[in-house]
Amino acid sequence: MKKTASYLGLAAAIAVTASVSAPDAARAEWKPDRPVEIVVSAGPGGGTDIFARVVQAALTKNALLTTPILVLNKGGGSGSEAFNYAKDNPDSPYKIYFGTQDAYVLPLGTKVNYSFNDLTPVASMVFDVFILWSNPKASGLNTAQEFIAKAKANPGKVRVAGAKAKDADETVVTLIERATGTDLAYIPYKSGSEAAIQVAGGHIEANTNNPSESLEQWKAGNQKPLCVFTSARLTDKTVVADGMSWADIPTCVEAGIDVKDFLQPRTVWMGAKVPPEALAYYTDLMKKVTETPEFKSYVERNVQINKMLVGQDFKTFLDQQIKTYAEIYKANGWLVATGQ
């Protein structure tokens, strides 16, 4: 305890003297001298929460951040609660926000009280991929082609389960519909794992999911991956089940569904008016996190695409994404009038 206290004092002293004497040095020297809040834009237990807590574990275990870390779950209103909090604390260098594409997609389709300009992008740490799954035993669907054929023969009758409404899963389902000219029945559940169980139990024909949420059901033979929504196949060649590895899953384009990269970035944000030296500090910190064994095993376990975006790269990516999503949302009739 004593040690931390004196260390805290020291850090504070450095921060104060540095900012007073040499602004240039401060840019490199800035360090949080107070507890840092990790604000999670989701409730406890889900994918975003696990992402934030893995980062927390990596930070503490490797002593990358020595001030105490508080994790706050602000999952209200599909996560807008967290970003409203960012709007209310625009200049705090002690609060970092964890989310997905929701951070910039939410304002498009839902009436929320923050806008994209209330956030400063820090990093996109890793990408989750989406996979289309079926239950071969119950529905007899073994390939994406069979799935499409069945959907064409029974318009509006083939059911696809996913997490929440107007979120990533429903978006990708509308993309499938448009690409193949089919009419699917999308059924929203509270979480991706709930949706997966419905398919594993044979109650629903198919679902879209992050790989990890259906992995165990695949191993048990209750689910089978039909295709993956990426432009190139996954790289992991370790056999999972039925002699198949992640790399053996065809991309959806190969399988005849013309939907290219549909990826879920795991994003980190700060308030709109944070000091640049703090932003630089956290950007650097997140880079260090991606090199820790904890984070690496997280990426491996979740079969994610290990690509980090920071700075200008991330901003370009965001501009692109917002444009794409706005088009999809417009086509789906989900756009909300933003003239408030």
Partner 1 sequence: MGNFGQLMDGFAIALTTHHILIMVFGVLLGLVVGVLPGLGAPNGVSLLMPLTFTMEPISAIILLTSMYWGALFGGSTTSILFNIPGEPSSVATTFDGHPMAKQGQAVRALTLAFASAGIGALIGVLVITLMSGWVANFALRFGSPEYFAVYFLAFASFIGMAGGSPFKTLVSIMLGLAAGTIGMDTISGEGRLTFGINELTAGISFLIVVIGLFGIGELLVTIDEGYKFEGVKAKLSLREIFRTLAEMPRYWVTILRSALIGCWMGITPGGPTAASFMSYALGRRFSKRGWNFGKGEPEGIISPETADHSAGSCALLPMLALGVPGSATAAVMMGGLMIWGLSPGPMLFTSQPDFVWGLIASMYAGNLIAVVLVLATVPLFAFILRAPFSVVGPLIAIICVIGAYTVANHVFDIWLALVFGLVGYVFKKLSYPLAPFVLAVVLGDKAEDAFRQSMLSSGGTLRVFFETPLVATMMTIGIFLLLLPLITRVFGAVFNSGTKRGVA
Binding site for partner 1 (CB under 8 A): 43-46, 49-50, 53-54, 56-57, 60-61, 69, 71-78, 80-81, 84, 109-111, 113, 156-157, 159, 164-167, 170, 185, 187-190, 193-194, 196-198, 200-204, 212-213, 215-217, 219-220, 222, 297, 301
Q: What's the min distance (Å) between Cβ of 317 and partner 1?
A: 25
Q: 19 or 84, CB closer to partner 1? A: 84
Closest CA to 102 of 331, 283, 266, 238: 266
Q: Which two tokens stand for residue 317?
A: 């990516």
Q: What's the min distance (Å) between Cβ of 284 and partner 1?
A: 22
Q: What's the min distance (Å) between Cβ of 53 and partner 1?
A: 5
Q: Which two tokens stand for residue 92?
A: 């705090």
Q: 188 or 275, CB closer to partner 1? A: 188
Q: What's the min distance (Å) between Cβ of 193 and partner 1?
A: 5
Q: 81 or 277, CB closer to partner 1? A: 81
Tracing tokens 């549909």 back to the chain, one arrives at 262
Q: How far is C-alpha 309 from the chain's CA centre?
A: 13
Q: 111 or 287, CB closer to partner 1? A: 111
DSSP sequence for 47-95 = HHHHHHHHHHHHHHHTTS--S-EEEEE--TGGGHHHHHHHHHSTT-TTE
The Cα 64–Cα 60 span in angstroms is 7
The Cα 37–Cα 99 span in angstroms is 14
User: What does each C-alpha distance from 277 to 4, 16, 219, 313 come to in angstroms?
Assistant: 23, 14, 47, 19
Q: What's the min distance (Å) between Cβ of 54 and partner 1?
A: 6
Beta strands per DSSP E along the chain:
36-40, 69-73, 95-99, 119-129, 131-134, 159-163, 185-189, 206-209, 224-228, 239-241, 244-245, 263-271, 309-310
Q: What's the min distance (Å) between Cβ of 78 and partner 1?
A: 6
Q: 109 or 265, CB closer to partner 1? A: 109
Q: 128 or 170, CB closer to partner 1? A: 170
Closest CA to 199 of 187, 183, 184, 182: 187
Q: 31 or 166, CB closer to partner 1? A: 166
Q: What's the min distance (Å) between Cβ of 23 and partner 1?
A: 35
